[in-house]
Chains A and B, each alone.
Chain A
Amino acid sequence: MAMLEVQDLHVAFPRGKRDEVEALRGVNLHLEKGERLGVVGESGAGKSMLAFAILNLIADPGRVSGGRVMFHGENLLDLSERGIRGIRGNRISMIFQDPMVTLNPVLTIGTQMIETLKAHRKISDAEARKLCIERLKQVAIPSAESRMDAYPHELSGGLRQRVVIAIALLTDPELIIADEPTTALDVTIQAEIMALILKLCRENDVALILITHDLGVVAEVTERIMIMYAGLCVEEGRTQDIINAPRHPYTAGLLKALPQKAGRGQRLYQIPGSMPPITALPPGCAYNPRCEFAADRCRATIPPLAGGVACFHPLQEEEAAS
């Protein structure tokens, strides 16, 4: 049994009085203990929605409208509020995108760390503080003791994200869901933070779901990749296989669009058009208006995910290489 098994997950938002639109349209995902999965897609593809839905944290007025999130064989969506709170921040932690707004501006770092521990463990203040300082040291925060009494605005963005990582690690979780953990940071710090997350996950045998739009990062950090487009998974498989031989035209387009693929002085490639909003999806494969291989069938039926790709005309290896 996989540690985490997401089955046919749907998330819907109300449109008008009666109608709903789906932001996730039936996503499957499985993750083994200690495994690192990259979830890649454009903004609005539903990546973050997937992350929040796993912990049943979809904000009003959205809701999980179908599917199951099996964690060690238990459906997280069926748990009581108290039950799911015991999972959140304890066995499954999250790292958010922008450390400038993730930490509460009016509470000290120490308060925000200790409250997490106290929510999940019977632990004295002194012990909790000791453990927090230890974790801050693990994420390489200089003068960790004094940082405990600092407020978030007194720390740089990079340091704040380290604090967030330290909070995520506090309770020795089995899984960390990192939602674009480096996007909001300076380019120079991005690599450092990513390396830190990778190192800590490896050392502590923590599984990772890394949500990003950066295929380059995913290639370095993860073992498997899931590509999302307009609320669906369009391709998934081992990272190496997908990077070397993408089969969905969208994945191929993303890879081609990596800046390092273009030669010096060459124009950067971009996929024509843009992803349709979830309120105006075309019939059939959502990618068909942008796809050079689209046929009548693609415009009529949604291709099912089969053999790791949801496409009626998957690319063959030689095509992808070209």
Chain B
Amino acid sequence: MHILAFLIRRAVQALVVMFVISIIGFSIQDNLGDPLRELVGQSVSEAEREALRDELGLNDPFLVQYARFLGNAVQGDLGTSYFFKRPAIDVILDKFPATFELVLGAVFIFVSVSIPAGIYCAIHRDSWLTRIIMTGSIVGISIPVFLTAIFMVWLFGVELGWLPAFGRGDTVTLPWGWDTGFLTWDGISHLILPSITLSSIMLPLFIRLIRAEMLEAMGTDYVRFARAKGLSTWRVRYVHAFRNTLLPVVTVGGLMIGTLIAYTILTETVFQWPGMGFLFLEAVNRVDTPLIIAYIIVVGLIFVVVNTLVDFIYTLINPMVKLPGAKG
């Protein structure tokens, strides 16, 4: 029952957040330049342009335009892309699988690397490998992601020619219309470089975070007590110490997923990855206002959903946090 209360509460909060995002997203449209210039050619006369503006509702007062937008949005209509001449939401959702799989690949890489590396560095504090990892992570934090991306393209794509550095490769369309690159070797090989690049923004931070949290946990009394109980080293490390490092890691990880989505714009552009981020940058160049706004709304929604999910997971793994609204 309390899970339902939690969900309702979060749904209301999410609505408020989405409302604010929609206002902000919508209000930037006047500052992006003239969509008409992109929409029609040079030869169209000023009178025709004005007529088209009227038709598109661009001459209406802001509030009228916003109310119209909101009314449509509630029904799932986020406007029609000027460039694609299709509903903006459809255009974005077509690109969603590519971005989703890129983020998934990045999360997979950084989880499977940062956890073992962080734990290793905490347990073998003074080994040479720890020093290499820790030094490397400082370097990693300091390098901007577009530089990593260009370096990856240059080294593995161009110089060594090991991996493709352009596009998504062969994809398979699943029955419900989802294009996946996971099912072909070509798709996976195309995913590797962009995923590594995208994960590189979180990886160094996470290795350091996990190491620090693990070190702290290893020094606590409950870990000492677990050792004094005669438990195996494995159990002391992973059941007693590591479980406690999960709490801060999940919290920071949840916040970082937002950052990850933001960086897909850069990564996708460098690797010409046909995802939402790449689409967004194209839309900005084309002043495709409905598409830009739709992107902001969709990404905002993803943020809200992910954060709610993280909060929910947090309550599951931390017995000291009860879901708000639960009794006791």
Instruction: Decide yes or no whether A90 CB sits under 8 A from chain B.
Output: yes
Chain B residue at minimum C-beta to C-beta distance from A84: B230
| A85 close to B230 (CB less than 8 A) | yes
| A153 close to B231 (CB less than 8 A) | no
B301-328: CB near A (< 8 Å → 1, else 0) gives: 0000000000000000111100000000
Instruction: Decide yes or no whether A216 CB sits under 8 A from chain B.
Output: no
Q: Number of contact residues on B: which range applies? A: 20 to 34
The answer, among B222, B232, B318, for a CB contact under 8 Å with A85, is B232
| B319 close to A106 (CB less than 8 A) | yes
The answer, among B221, B233, B317, B319, for a CB contact under 8 Å with A153, is B319
With A153-B319, A153-B320 given, is the CB distance from A103 to B230 under 8 Å?
Answer: no
B226, B228, B233, B235: which has the most chain A beta carbons within 10 Å? B228
A54-67: CB near B (< 8 Å → 1, else 0) gives: 01010110000000
The answer, among A60, A94, A119, for a CB contact under 8 Å with B232, is A119
The answer, among B221, B228, B230, B240, for a CB contact under 8 Å with A101, is B221
- Write out the residue numbers on chain B whose beta carbons fall within 8 Å of the beta carbon of A151: 319-320
The answer, among B225, B227, B231, B235, for a CB contact under 8 Å with A103, is B225
Instruction: Decide yes or no whether B76 CB sits under 8 A from chain A.
Output: no
| A104 close to B222 (CB less than 8 A) | yes
- Write out the residue numbers on chain B whose beta carbons fall within 8 Å of the beta carbon of A283: none
| B320 close to A105 (CB less than 8 A) | yes
A304-317: CB near B (< 8 Å → 1, else 0) gives: 00000000000000
| A96 close to B231 (CB less than 8 A) | no
B125, B223, B317, B319: which has the most chain A beta carbons within 10 Å? B319
| A115 close to B228 (CB less than 8 A) | no
- Write out the residue numbers on chain B whose beta carbons fall within 8 Å of the beta carbon of A115: 229, 231, 235, 239
| A167 close to B229 (CB less than 8 A) | yes
| A86 close to B230 (CB less than 8 A) | yes
With A106-B244, A106-B319 given, is the CB distance from A89 to B224 under 8 Å?
Answer: no
Instruction: Decide yes or no whether A75 CB sits under 8 A from chain B.
Output: no
| B225 close to A102 (CB less than 8 A) | yes
The answer, among A81, A90, A106, for a CB contact under 8 Å with B318, is A106
- Shortest C-beta distance, B271 to chain A (Å), equals 40
- Write out the residue numbers on chain B whose beta carbons fall within 8 Å of the beta carbon of A81: 233
| A59 close to B224 (CB less than 8 A) | yes
- Write out the residue numbers on chain A whose beta carbons fall within 8 Å of the beta carbon of B219: 59
Can you pick out 6 interface pairs between chain A and chain B where the beta carbons lie within 8 Å of each other?
A: A85-B230, A89-B231, A94-B228, A104-B226, A104-B240, A105-B222
